[in-house]
Amino acid sequence: MALQINPPLTDADTRALRAGDEVVINGVIYTARDAAHKRLVGVLEKGEELPLELEGQVIYYTGPTPPLPGRATGSAGPTTSSRMDVYTPSLLECGLKAVIGKGDRSDGVIDALNRHGAVYLAAVGGAGALLAERISAAEIILYPELGPEAIYRLEVVDFPAIVAIDSHAADLYRSGSGR
């Protein structure tokens, strides 16, 4: 049975999750891909305040396609997470508690997840149309000029994922591949 998680997440929420746990997310999550991550980290590097409160939040690495009639978005599948590895530790330092994507992560990200009590959740690649059915509302809140790579505020209901890397550095990708 899947565990329910409802952002914003606390340290206790994320520290209780273990690699391999199935979860469903209910509430608000945010999207961000490469271009949005670069902008957010650029803001931090300038010593400025982020335009988005990340404390306890979840970022989903997706760029939703335009909505179909009667839907909040079109397909919204995960993108390859390793492209965000250079940016992820900086955002975790800002209180981000979970990221959702697909594929393995670098040692630096695994260390940062452990250090900040955060988790990496895997969503099923190739299932973007099905995952979009779990999105009840979507609104662009930052960087609209980036098109599908803008930052969206999504409301999700029973959005499925698996804890791929937990806050204790247990990693399904490495243990499953024998590394």
Is 168 known to be catalytic?
Answer: no
The residue ranges of DSSP E strands in 73-118, in sequence order, are: 98-101
115: which 2 tokens?
């250090």
∠ CA(41), CA(44), CA(46), 5° rounding?
115
121: which 2 tokens?
């959740």
User: What gap in Å lies between CA 59 and CA 39, rounded to an integer?
Assistant: 15
> Would you mind telling me the total number of residues written for the chain in this entry?
179
Q: How far is CA 24 from CA 88, 106, 111, 121, 147, in A?
A: 22, 25, 25, 10, 27
Of 33, 37, 97, 105, catalytic: 37
Quote the longest CA-to-CA distance of the chain: 45
Partners of 159 in beta bridges: 25
Q: Which residues does the annotation mark as catalytic?
A: 37
